[in-house]
Amino acid sequence: MQFRDLKKQYEVLKKDIDQAMIDVAASSAYIMGKPVKELEAALAEYVGVKHCVSCGNGTDALTIALKVLGVGAGDAVFVPDFTFFASAEVISLEGAHPVFVDVEEESFNICAADLEAKVQQTIAQGQYTPKAVIAVDLFGLPANYPAVKKVAERYGLKIIEDGAQGFGGTLNGKRACGFGDIGTTSFFPAKPLGCYGDGGAIFTDSDEYAALADSFRVHGKGSFKYDNVRIGVNSRLDTLQAAILQVKFRAFCDYELDAVNKAAAMYTERLSGVVDTPVVPEGYYSSWAQYTIKLRDRATRDALQSALKEAGIPSMVYYPTPMHKQTAHAPYGPYADDLCPVATSLCDRVLSLPIHPYITEEDVEMVCSIVSKVAL
């Protein structure tokens, strides 16, 4: 059993993917070729924004977003304590100060109430200027943007939506990556929409932000390639990856999102009352980057993971350590023991089970059988 079965996906899409790769090889336009612009236009239309600017990976997308907003030394950027390291790493890379915010128990996403508390605390301390919040769409579910936006507007914060795991999710009919001043996503192979290497994208309705993102991704270019007007990065999406994504995007829209939601529903039906299953609130739709359950404690979680491994079933702990306890973030402390209690507790109890559009009902049954034996 595969955690995210990319081999099965390739078998289904092989004919079209192979032809797309051959076409790129024949074109000799390996950097910023026609498929890149075509993909950007299709993704912007899908998300419902004016602009999509592709780039080398999801981390670069966040980095470029911070550069576009002028984030730097002396600024505070607020980020969930329960997330992948890159969401916070980029803040430090820009010379700003990361402020870690607790998350909601049910959604795993940033808690607007704690966001406001951390903003007020930062203002009271007077050392850093609140500048932006990076709201993460964890495991495929959009964050509570109406609540986050109220806080952001109250304190003049810009919103960056980290939709690396959320692409395809919706909130009240609006698609992920379209909620912030700038949205970002990742096309890492295991993401809901993934390529065959690294890739990422930036989304915005702002003409100014889009132009800046386009400049930053190519060494801070101005009117032409060798006119460099700002310090940028080298972060372009390869034509080959764009062509692969075009094929996979069609499958993503046509049936993969529906299939992965059906798989999640099967899990929830069988595991309700056995473990804490993920919650999709009314008005939300998840792209199910992960199906993450919660156990009673670390011992039960670890026992379940061991039992699954013995049966040849992969599982993952996303994430074992909150951001404020990562060694790399020690210089930004010291941190109180109760800084983010929900995030700290989740790190002891979460376990992600295999899920993807091609998982079979038999595979789900096998996983649930072992979960029921260990967790009850």
**Element containing residue 44 per DSSP (H, E):** helix 34-47
pLDDT tens per residue across span 83-95: 999 999 999 999 9
Q: How confident is the model at residue 231 (pLDDT cuts 50, 70, 90)?
A: very high
Give tens-digit pLDDT for 45-73. 999 999 999 999 999 999 999 999 999 99
Count other C-beta atoms under 10 Å from residue 196's C-beta.
17
Name which CATH class applies to 6-101+109-247: alpha beta
Question: How confident is the model over 266-307, as pLDDT tens digits?
Answer: 999 999 999 999 999 999 999 999 999 999 999 999 999 999
* Identical fold, 6-101+109-247 and 254-375: no
Kindly indicate the confidence band of residue 309, based on its pLDDT and cuts at 50, 70 and 90: very high
Neighbours of 132 (CB within 10 A): 26
The torsion defined by the Cα of 21, 25, 29 and 35, in degrees rounded to 10, comes to -20
The Cα–Cα gap between 260 and 150 comes to 32
Q: What are the domain boundaries of the chain?
A: 6-101+109-247, 254-375
pTM, two decimals, is 0.97
% of the chain beyond a pLDDT of 70 = 100
> CA–CA separation, 290 vs 278, rounded Å?
10
Structural fold of domain 254-375:
Aspartate Aminotransferase, domain 1 (3.90.1150)
Q: Does the pLDDT at position 376 exceed 90?
A: no
Give pLDDT tens digits for 125-162: 999 999 999 999 999 999 999 999 999 999 999 999 99
Backbone angles phi, psi at 5, to 5 degrees: -80, 80
Percentage of the chain surpassing pLDDT 90? 99
Structure tokens belonging to residue 192: 């809901």
